[in-house]
Amino acid sequence: MTHEEYQSYLQSPSWLNLRNRVLAAAQGHCEGCGRWPATEVHHLTYVHVGKEFLWELRAVCRDCHDRLHPDKIREPVPEPETRKGDDHDTV
Whether residue 48 lies inside any domain: the answer is yes
Number of independent structural domains in the chain = 1
Whether residue 86 lies inside any domain: the answer is no
Whether residue 88 lies inside any domain: the answer is no
Whether residue 37 lies inside any domain: the answer is yes
Whether residue 57 lies inside any domain: the answer is yes
Model confidence, pTM:
0.74
pLDDT at 77: 56
The amino acid occupying position 27 is Q
Whether residue 23 lies inside any domain: the answer is yes
The 10s digit of each residue's pLDDT in 52-80 is 999 999 999 999 998 988 887 666 555 55
Whether residue 24 lies inside any domain: the answer is yes
Contacts (Cβ under 8 Å, ≥6 apart) of 88: 33, 35, 63, 64
Whether residue 34 lies inside any domain: the answer is yes
pLDDT at 76: 58
- List 42's β-bridge partners, or say none: 58
Provide the H-helix boundaries in 1-91: 3-9, 13-25, 62-68
The 10s digit of each residue's pLDDT in 16-52 is 999 999 999 999 999 999 999 999 999 999 999 999 9
